[in-house]
């Protein structure tokens, strides 16, 4: 579920919309760049919000706020601490900051995805917004700052934010387990999209500013104590979050299976660009050189071919398994050389494999990448000749 926002560059206050009513009667409202959910009954909340975060039973409303001021304008934190910043946001939304918990993002609220599933007397609803193109990363990537004296760096660049609504009454331990299952589902969605980290050559597992709010109905007669993968609650959390995160990412930045059906997209996290491939083409002596626009056109045709993409996907899996310690540098290189031979045959070019150093993981991967770039450059030129 989502709704259209019209012109992306225009941000206006005053648009108020009821977009969904949850099973417990709570309503999801959209206004002033925010999704706001005031409670109509007693709720338990477990959240990562800097404002009233952790486990609480006195929260009266939750929200997800788009802090991006507009195209070409930098987002700034208006207070000394992130908590005070979000407290001001809560007040501006007409909420009591003492009993509200909220998340902040640069994703547009009109790109929200709302997914709900029911099994017998249990309903789980996932409300997600998100973007990974700026600060998507892999857990364990190098950090950019260290918190000191309670001061935080305000970095709401992309952010996958999830509000997870559960119609049953959950124990505190169950709510904590729900956060784990929700996070696993989010990471699984990103993994299935094969999106790379912006800070390493690994696959992303989320953004550096992701937030989660779990809400359960404290008034329900259904009392649950387990949200793991073996129980129905865990299954519903996994299914709704997986779908909501994928849809939100597609709406916000276009990230989708269609976008990822590209050899260049798969190789981006290893430093491969169309410019590197073109530079390889013009550096090859003794042949007529294609102009950049003509070359780029035929490169796109080639790198989106199913066979080229499939072999490139296999190549990136080899790189990952080398980084994870599942393959040695020599084993990865030998398999990559076989793939290169298959790729050369598929695109109809001759290719002499250049020796690859196995002195380190970085050297082995870079050597294989250089061979793959040469193949794509040769294949693009051959594609152009066939089209002439």
Q: Which of 193, 218, 253 is a domain's end point?
A: 253
Q: Is the pLDDT of residue 15 over 80?
A: no
Residue 291 pLDDT grade (very low, low, confident, very high; cuts 50, 70, 90): very high
- Please give the pLDDT value at position 275: 97
Burial of 105-140, coded b for 16+ CB within 10 Å and e otherwise, reads bbbbbbbbbbbbbeeeebbbbbbbbbbbeebbbbee
pLDDT at 371: 97
- Interval 213-272: pLDDT, tens: 999 999 999 999 999 999 999 999 999 999 999 999 999 999 999 999 999 999 999 999
pLDDT of residue 5: 35
Query: Residue 112 maps to which CATH number?
Result: 3.60.70
CA dihedral 243, 246, 250, 253 (to 10 degrees): 150
Is the per-residue pLDDT at 71 higher than 70?
no
**3-class secondary-structure state, position 71:** coil
Q: Is residue 9 part of a domain?
A: no
- How many domains in the chain? 2
SS3 category, 100: strand
- My answer on whether 91 and 190 are in the same domain is yes
Within this chain, do residues 161 and 23 fall inside the same structural domain, yes or no? yes
- Are both 34 and 119 inside the same structural domain? yes
* Domain C-terminal end among 226, 253, 280: 253
pLDDT tens readout for residues 331-367: 999 999 999 999 999 999 988 899 999 889 999 999 9
pLDDT > 70 fraction of the chain, expressed in percent and rounded: 89
Q: Specify whether the CB–CB gap between 201 and 124 falls below 8 A.
A: no
327 is a domain residue: yes
Q: Within this chain, do residues 359 and 381 fall inside the same structural domain, yes or no?
A: yes
């Amino acid at each position: 579920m989502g709704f259209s926002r019209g012109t992306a560059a225009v941000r206006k206050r005053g648009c108020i919309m009821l977009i969904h009513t949850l099973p417990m009667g709570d309503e999801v409202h959209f206004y002033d760049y925010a999704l706001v959910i005031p409670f109509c009954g007693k709720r338990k909340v477990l959240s990562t919000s800097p404002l009233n975060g952790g486990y609480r039973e006195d929260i009266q409303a939750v929200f997800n706020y788009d802090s991006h001021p507009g195209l070409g304008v930098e987002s700034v934190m208006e207070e000394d601490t992130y908590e005070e910043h979000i407290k001001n946001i809560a007040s501006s939304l007409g909420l009591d900051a003492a009993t509200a918990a909220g998340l902040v993002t640069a994703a547009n609220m009109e790109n929200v995805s709302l997914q709900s599933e029911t099994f017998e007397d249990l309903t789980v609803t996932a409300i997600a917004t998100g973007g990974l193109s700026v600060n998507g990363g892999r857990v364990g990537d190098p950090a950019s700052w260290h918190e000191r004296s309670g001061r935080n760096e305000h970095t709401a660049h992309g952010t996958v934010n999830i509000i997870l609504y559960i119609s049953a009454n959950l124990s505190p331990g169950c709510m904590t387990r729900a956060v784990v299952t929700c996070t696993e589902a989010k990471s699984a969605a990103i993994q299935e999209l094969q999106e790379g980290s912006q800070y390493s050559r690994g696959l992303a597992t989320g953004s550096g500013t992701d937030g989660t709010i779990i809400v359960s109905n404290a008034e329900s007669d259904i009392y649950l104590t387990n949200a793991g993968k073996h129980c129905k609650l865990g299954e519903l959390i996994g299914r709704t979050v997986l779908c909501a995160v994928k849809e939100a990412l597609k709406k916000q930045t276009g990230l989708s299976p269609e976008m990822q059906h590209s050899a260049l997209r798969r190789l981006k996290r290893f430093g491969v660009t169309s410019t590197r491939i073109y530079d390889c083409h013009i550096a090859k002596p003794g042949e007529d050189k294609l102009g950049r626009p003509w070359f780029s056109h035929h490169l796109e045709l080639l790198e989106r071919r199913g066979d080229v993409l499939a072999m490139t996907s296999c190549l990136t899996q080899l790189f990952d398994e080398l980084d994870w310690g599942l393959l040695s540098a020599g084993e990865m290189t030998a398999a990559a050389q076989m793939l290169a031979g298959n790729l050369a045959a598929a695109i109809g070019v001759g290719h002499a494999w250049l020796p690859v150093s196995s002195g380190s993981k970085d050297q082995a991967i870079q050597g294989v990448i250089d061979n793959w770039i040469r193949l794509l450059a040769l294949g693009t030129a051959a594609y152009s000749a066939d089209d002439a």
